[in-house]
Structure 1
Amino acid sequence: MLGPVAAHGTFRADSPLFSSLHLDDGPLTGYDLERLRRAPHRLVLSSCDSGQMAPVGADELLGLATALLHQGTAGIVASVVPVNDETAVPVMAGLHDGLTLPEALCQARGDDVSFIAIGAG
């Protein structure tokens, strides 16, 4: 199952699990994602900074993506920088043509390196 989420995002380096996706009814934070009963198997986050992570302690990274990975999401495509909505559209549309998230992302993004694939996807 591939779940797409089109929303604006904010990364909080000071408290990575308070990073959020801006949904119509309010922010969806990393803490909210940790409470999911069942995480999507694969997820595409077209929102700005949704793939950013911050180091916590000696060997842990935290952010929206890691909150999902801890819940069982196998693969995520997410942006590590602010992205332009119009230029993200062809990348997002192209993702649905591939077999795996990393392969699809490589084919879809071309020279645009705003998005990364995380996990085994």
Structure 2
Amino acid sequence: MPSLGELERAVMDVLWAASTPLTAREVQDGLGSRELATTTVLTVLGRLERKALVTRTRDGRAHHYRPVASREDHVAELMRDALDGAPDRGAVLARFLGSIPPDERAALRDLLG
């Protein structure tokens, strides 16, 4: 799973929050206070497309972008990749469980039970 830079993550956050595919201009507007040129946003969207994180469809002269997977699916894949790289998955899981708040541990127990 490819990692995301700060700007790539911000663009993905905009796309994940949207209920429909967005144009580069709409993504740019969704980034709010960031002063970015549309060409910069297009470059980031192109990078995300090459990383297979977004898809692009043409609608007239504009392209619309949407995430390939949900934010939850993306994070779950990152977690799987991290575990796959660990020589002792059990130790990693134990450290992870020890680092999260009790209410999240309880939620995990509920999901597993």
TM-score interval, normalised by the smaller of the two chains: 0.3 to 0.5
Structure with the higher helix share, 1 or 2: 2
Q: With structure 2 as the length reference, what TM-score do the two structures score?
A: 0.32
Q: With structure 1 as the length reference, what TM-score do the two structures score?
A: 0.31
Whose radius of gyration is greater, 1 or 2? 2
Structure with the higher strand share, 1 or 2: 1
